[in-house]
Amino acid sequence: MKNSTKWITSAFAAVAILFASSQVNAQTKSSNPGDVWRLGVGIEGAIPTGDLSSFSNFSLGGTARLQYDTKSNLSFMLTSGYYNVFGKEYTVGTTTVKPDALGIVPVKAGLKVFASDNIYFSGELGVGLETNYGKNTKFIASPGVGYANAGGLDIGVRYENFSGQSDNYGLVALRLAYGFKL
């Protein structure tokens, strides 16, 4: 199951990027004049999946993204921040337990491929550094889709898969961000 999740996530990201780039081969996006550096700051809400769903119902975090917009429909991204995965109360026998939150620092690199002026497909790869519970390092694969405009608004939805150290999990996340030209 762990390997199939990695393969499915990787395949989805590859297909999305290839599909988007083939659809916009002759297009340029008016919201991206090209050769522009941006710094985006966003808030992220997520629902845990996989092994993590028994531990938590919700995650909240913040990210900063450095983005380079080319003259074509392609943008390069570097993203980092902090996710706080809130522990939920559960019962073991007659004892009620509420674990501490899990902290994760993502460090990712990726691409955005614009299918139109404002709609994009994205794919990111990187690592997630757990700040507690064994302080493991997870591999991250993250395909997504979103909306970005020339005014700096960026709204994206993605699935983020974390794998490694015998426990794999994911997050279905929504990122609301604002980007500033540098």
- What values do phi and psi take at 130, rounded to 5? -70, 130
Q: What is the pLDDT of residues 157-178, one digit of tens each?
A: 999 999 998 888 999 999 999 9
Interval 139-158 mean pLDDT? 96
CATH class of 2-181: mainly beta
Q: Burial code of 69-89, b = ≥16 C-beta within 10 A, e = fewer?
A: beebbbbebebebbbbbbeee
Decide which of 31 and 123 is more confident: 123
Tell me, what DSSP letter sits at residue 101? P
Q: What is the pLDDT of residues 116-137, one digit of tens each?
A: 999 999 999 999 999 988 789 9
Q: What is the pLDDT of residues 61-98, one digit of tens each?
A: 999 999 999 999 999 999 999 999 999 998 888 999 88
Smallest CA-to-CA distance from 8 within 158, 174, 164, 141 is with: 141
